[in-house]
Amino acid sequence: MVSSVLRDARRIVVKVGSSLVTNEGRGLDETAIEEWSRQLAVLVRGDGGAPREVVMVSSGAIAEGMKRLGWTTRPQEVHELQAAAAVGQMGLAQMYETKLREQGMGSAQVLLTHADLADRERYLNARSTLLTLLRLGVVPVINENDTVVNDEIKFGDNDTLGALVANLVEADALIILTDQKGLYTADPRRDPSAEFVHEAKAGDPALEAMAAARAPASARAARAPRSWRPSVQRALAHRP
C-alpha cells in the first residue's frame, strides 16, 4: 500500500535534515544540494514518468551561518542561534537557487513559523502563495523562520513543519529524508535489537512507544554514511 501511495503521488513535500545538506555541520554541502536539486528537477519535469509538484523543506541555515561567522562550536544562547540562522539563510537560499537554476528550475524561498499556520488569514495567504508557485512550476524551498522563534530553533522542529506544510498544500505524500534507513522500534545506534518498521499507521499507540529522546547535539551534525545516502527517487520507486 505504501509503495502505491508514493508511486501515485503527484504533489509531494520532501523534508531534508541538516545532516544531509551540510559538511558534518560545517557549512553547506554543495555537492549534496546539487544532487537533491537534480532529483527534484527530475520529479518536476516528469523524466520517465508523470510530472510532479514538489515542495522542499530544508534545514541547514544555522550550520551555514556558523561557518560564515567563523564559529566552530554551536552556541547555546537562543539569540546567537537566531543570528546564525539569519546569516546562514542567505547562503541556503542562494545555494538552492543556483543549483535548481542549473537544472532549469525556478525556486522560491518561503520562511514560515507555526504561528503563521495557526492564524487563519496567514494560513490562507501561505497556502495561496505555495499553490501559485507550484502551478508556475517553481520549487518552493521552505525553512522555519528561526530569527523570530524560540522553542522551534532550540528543538529543531522541521519534521513537524514538513507535516504542517504537507497539510497546507494538501500533498499526496510527505517524504522525510534522514541519516537512518527509516523507522525502527528503538534507536538502532544504541539498541542492536531494534527492528525496522516497514509500515505504520498514524494514531497507532505502538508508535508512541517507539519514540525516543532527542539525539544529543553532536548527532545533529552527523553526516549520513556514504553506504547509505537516501534518495527522493528511491523513496518514490515502486516496490512490489
Q: What is the pLDDT of residue 2?
A: 54
| For residue 219, pLDDT beyond 70 | no
Q: What is the mean pLDDT of residues 115-125?
A: 90
Q: What is the pLDDT of residue 221?
A: 38
- Phi and psi angles of residue 109, each rounded to the nearest 5 degrees, phi first: -95, 130
| For residue 178, pLDDT beyond 90 | no
For strand 173-177 and strand 138-144, is the pairing parallel, antiparallel, or unpaired? unpaired
Per mean pLDDT, which range of 7-11, 83-87, 107-111, 200-204 is the poorest?
200-204
| For residue 93, pLDDT beyond 60 | yes
Closest to 88 (Cα-Cα) out of 65, 111, 69: 65
Q: What is the pLDDT of residue 157?
A: 64
For residue 199, what is its C-alpha cell? Answer: 509500515
d(CA 141, CA 15): 10
| For residue 124, pLDDT beyond 50 | yes
d(CA 13, CA 166): 6
Helix, strand or coil, per DSSP, at residue 238: coil
Question: Tell me: the pLDDT tens digits for 100-117?
Answer: 999 999 999 999 987 888
CATH superfamily of 2-179+222-236: Acetylglutamate kinase-like (3.40.1160.10)
Kindly write down the DSSP assignment for every residue of 24-87, as one continuous string: TTSSB-HHHHHHHHHHHHHHHHTTTS---EEEEEE--HHHHHHHHHT-SS---SHHHHHHHHHH
Sign of the Cα torsion 74, 75, 80, 81 reads positive
| For residue 75, pLDDT beyond 80 | yes
Q: Are 162 and 15 in contact (CB under 8 A)?
A: yes
Where residue 195 falls among pLDDT bands split at 50, 70, 90? confident
**What is the amino acid identity at position 206?**
A
Q: How many helices (H) and strands (E) does the chain have?
A: 11, 5
Q: What is the pLDDT of residue 226?
A: 36
Question: Tell me: the pLDDT tens digits for 17-35?
Answer: 888 898 877 899 999 999 9
**What is the amino acid identity at position 70?**
G
Helix, strand or coil, per DSSP, at residue 90: helix
What pTM value is reported for the model? Answer: 0.80
